[in-house]
Amino acid sequence: MVLPAVELALLIELGGRIGTPATLGLIVVTGIVGASLARQQGMGVLRKLQEESEAGRLPAGSLVDGVLILVAAALLVTPGILTDAFGFLCLVPGFRSLAKRELRRRFERAVQEQRLDVRFYGDDGWGPREEKVVYDLDADDPKDDEPRIG
């Protein structure tokens, strides 16, 4: 509730200083320019995602870029001074690099502190990643209680 109240107060203050038509025009212009920039950068990130995937590399950095650009687009089409400022900031590659570094640091810390558990399942095309002992605790048949390699 705080952010919308602050945004409204800023828009009212801005409207008092530059006038209502200019304030409304600013809202429309930032929305159009922001959406256009987000679309342009989003297409670039999409191309990079495809290139990294085709090269067999995990496109984690590009995925985070894509999410930040999506957040930027949502913020830029939302009327407001603070949301526009943060939205445009998310479109700056240098800011996204800082954000990715911080997100990675927080993710690694959460894994180290065991607040986040990361597991990989499935087949990567070369066979199972690892063999695991599986216990079937719901089975009625006693022979199912024997551990098996899964």
Q: Exposed, middle or buried: residue 134 (CB in 10 Å: 0-12, 13-18, 19+)?
A: exposed
Question: 99: closest CA among 138, 133, 69?
Answer: 69
| pLDDT at position 1 | 86
Token duo for residue 139: 């089975």
| pLDDT at position 70 | 92
Q: Does the structure show a pLDDT above 90 at 132? A: no
| pLDDT at position 26 | 92
| pLDDT at position 87 | 92
Mean pLDDT of the chain: 82
pTM over 0.75: no
The DSSP secondary-structure symbol of 58 reads -
CA angle 25, 65, 5 (to 5 degrees): 40
pLDDT in tens, 95-116: 999 998 998 898 888 888 888 7
CA angle 17, 34, 63 (to 5 degrees): 140
Q: In one letter, which amino acid is 146?
A: E
Q: Does the structure show a pLDDT above 80 at 63? A: yes
Q: Identify the residue with better confidence: 57 or 118.
A: 57
